[in-house]
Amino acid sequence: PCSDVDWLGAPHHLPGKLRIAFSADFGYVAVDPEVRAVVSEAVQRFAAEIGAELELADPGFPDPSAAFGALVAMESDLTGMRRMMAEQGSEMSPHLVAMLQRDWRAENFTDAVTTRKAVSNCLWRFMQRFDL
């Protein structure tokens, strides 16, 4: 941690008025209407109770879910998990087995990393206007 911060005293110093961004669906996710209503009410109550400025805003990146499987596979021990699948495949989740059976190519991984970087950069730019 930074040496110029009084970590024990920090909780006693309240920040100024916070700017909070909230997106119920990131602009593309299907959300159950009841869940959306409950979460939106909770977010509004939270912001009001701490005196924050709440803005409903979507960060603006497209749905990155297609990259998720490749990112998980890339960060996994595919060799070890494939050995495990050979012995215990019937006990494993069908989604996991499908991931392990896929013939991954380097391009799948580099495309997924590129997507992850694009989302990270979009969120970085988006959050420049907000505290939370």
Q: Please determine, for residue 1, whether its predicted confidence score (pLDDT) is greater than 70.
A: no
pLDDT of residue 13: 65
- Ranges of each domain in the chain: 1-58, 62-132
CA angle, residues 64, 95, 101, in degrees to nearest 5 = 100
User: Could you report the per-residue pLDDT of 79-122, keeping only the tens digit for each?
Assistant: 999 999 999 999 999 999 999 999 999 999 999 999 999 999 99
Q: What is the mean pLDDT of residues 22-27?
A: 96
pLDDT of residue 29: 95
pLDDT of residue 121: 98
Q: Report yes or no: 60 and 94 within 8 Å, Cβ to Cβ.
A: no
Q: Name every residue whose Cβ is closer than 8 Å to that of residue 89 and which is 6 or more positions away in sequence.
A: 97
Q: How confident is the model at residue 14 (pLDDT cuts 50, 70, 90)?
A: low
- pTM value? 0.77
Query: Which H or E run contains 56?
Result: strand 53-56
